[in-house]
Structure 1
């Protein structure tokens, strides 16, 4: 028999049978998601080896007690955050026990009293807890920055001797998690607060009231998906239903700087929905839009208008706040405002702006280390530097990008931005199947987020489905009419891959400036069309922007799943005279 000292982690899911009886398919899908995104990666990161799994639990061996405890703490803390938006009776929660002892290893399984102790500690733990034996505590108490509560000697089932046990102090349960407060009572991250007032039924038709209220509630629900916003609850905003209000007073009462209000009017078989966004502090109109639709399918109209509004509003809020930032000195920036300014610089897509964006995003994280959105955008900005070659050590920059995004995921697993960026990193690593998983998770979290939708188009283009990719990119443009100019570049690449060269040329023409790779795509378009003069012009522009341009240097930055798609671009560049 092979005997060796090992740390054993036993875990199971609390209330598994009850959840399976209520929703078998949904429970299995959610459990699989937690395994793929959180549990298995944490085990791998901490050098764990899964010995066996059951429907509701697992047994894992670690080379050290510190690795086992670090894994357990990460899983439980992140599960607290994942459950923040889940009703109590639907939450997936785990209990974990850890022991350190000499274990028998045989035929891929493990045996011995040390395994039994871990299993019994797990059964004694409450939902969301980690219990460790005294042997584990002796090893980790001086190595890990954690607190432990001494539970004394526990008499465990089927064990003749009591076991000294400790409970690991974890993050506060989700019921008590709130904004991080500073000594003066303020919060470190002050997100823009928005209230959606009940829309007014201007039709004189009481039967339209259900549509009007439904539209308002849908807007509230969808805006709440945006983790960079704080949305006032329905119960608070619906107090004002049917009232003539002073928006400045409403803003002060609800603590909302931004207010959405609107109206619905029916005339014959036409429905008109008007929406406006107002800054309550100065009573200024930031944005207004009118939606006229044929009254064929009332629910389709509700979905369409909701999608359009929630895709546009966050960008308009950011734009209005960006104007305010220009009047502030950098020393007065709060963490959120640093992120906001960094986003502006990022979207300009120049090396100099990327450097400044990196400084600002690092400053935001320094102000608030637990600000998940800042970590996510740190990864995005560093990913841009890697993608454009604006760094001396590409591998180190990509590692920084991945570390920032994983940190964001550890702080907030339910942020669409986090999964969008995890998908982007997977694309950079040419792991397109993994990218598809995170991309679909991001879409499920926020299907109306233009940056998520456009990236779906990019992923489909890389995956050999450019016509579908172009449709997704065009959808993103419709969702947000104020989209970044780079969307046109994504559309041009998709159209090129689909061999729609004329359309691709038109798409690239919308860009205010062209970089070397964009000019290379245009050169390839003209190369395939046989436009020698235009092809040469863009090939010359490539060398003007990047004198040492080589096709062999561009190929590693491309992520085509099909070699035929890659060769299509390479041959197009060669036809244009590039080498």
Structure 2
């Protein structure tokens, strides 16, 4: 047994098919069919009651539960379903006690005792120990009958047993239990016969299930390509797209499987790209293809899981269901992918997969239409999406996911400049979503987004972490959490999350860009350039160009840095405010004042509402230029505007070091050295790890010999050294 085992009080569940060995001798095919049906019932029911299957014992099941009511409810439901199957009867035994969990198995006296209790039962009964009986809540729906104490084999004390008497359970007599005990003691050969039959069953199952489908030993990863719309009505396109997103969301809840984000797979919609090429681009070992077709009021979904490297099918299924069964189909697909990829599901994962957001297909369809509109990311589409989400909530007022989608829309309205009051509305909607479903990842993600917009980074961090606890592959939450860590100065954690974001969304330029940015801050310039180049290969972005120019400036190559400016103005398109601002910033740090003035002035002209933007830095850099040129009036106008908007922003964004860095620059321009240094201290404490903005900044050129500034730079240097050591240690561990 390993040293990393854990001990926990749990309810131990044993079940066994009565007369299975005899049935095997008469009709093997029927016996195998019953065993498979028995396993399927156990998997479905136990997942609904947070039960965890530990192992399959041929015709029996060993499982554990956290609470007695859940174990009893699951046992009763299993017996109810089994009673409807001809020639099927099982017995179940429950006991509670401390057990040891080690490498997916369980050990301890409680396990052995539960097995003994099950073994002496009669067909269709549910036997429980006194310890289980004592934990049934008062006024419970479960009723019991005392059978008395019994001496069980290899148990050194009498065991008080009770039978649960709820219909359709059989209620054994005490004499029947005693006969079963005596029969077992007189017929020890039966144990070996059952063991032999079980071994034969297991060998047969291994042969039949895995002979042509070896246990999956490659990376557990999947790209779920957009489902094709095979319906005659092209207006049903929204449904196939929404179903794709929902299946991705379901599989993403399985922590042991890497699931490529919906954004990344959209690029392969309706393409003839070879599957092995798609697999290489997305870095996955399997691909799921599917199509959706409406046949009257029924829906047919065909899915196929493929190993693209070996060009072979791993699993295929056709679901022909009523529309209202669509939610179960999503869970079934996720469960089958986990099975094929040899990923065991935790009880929490099974519970998340079995949960349905709504029982109303009408509400679901309205929600899909709203999501399709929201994904266009323009103001008018968001306004239209809001109406669809509201309509979905009229159909089902308890549709938590629709509330989360409304929260996203309201936050987007705030982003479009419609007013910060929409952030309050967004938080209200995400709160409603989480009140209905406390484990809804999308609700926590929406909540975290608003907290981040408001600069409440600690609250944002908590929300994103809760989102990832329910959906470990939610790439949007991973990227946003990485940004929160970056702003807080935790570079190693930010980099780890950005790399995970790259793995889940390898066609998005942003995580590559930020990873390169982090490596530049850590003075690992070769790695920084590599990541930034990969970002540029996906999308040309001004910030990527700025970061590459900063690397040249840090290496003393100002002229090479200035050469990057030309790449911002290629093509016939209209130059954006961000491109002018980036060009001006590169020129500023490279010491080219004329081009700085030209580009930053144009960036302000392109930004009509710049006076309300606390992160727009062009006015600060221009104020310094005008002061150096003795144009005090222009310098003071820009200084006042930049200072006032940041002083107001501190009330809402007090956790963001960027504000304090900007205020330090403004105070240095004003000439207040003491206050400028004070703001630099605060910026470092809040997470400033990029000393480029101090060492290479013309505004601070006369501050670099100040003892207090040197102490700030020393603190940043220590943080950088510590981060590099942590990363080096992690790399060494991975390479072992």
TM-score normalised by length of structure 2:
0.34
Indicate the structure with greater helix content: 2
TM-score normalised by length of structure 1:
0.42
Q: Which has the larger radius of gyration?
A: 2
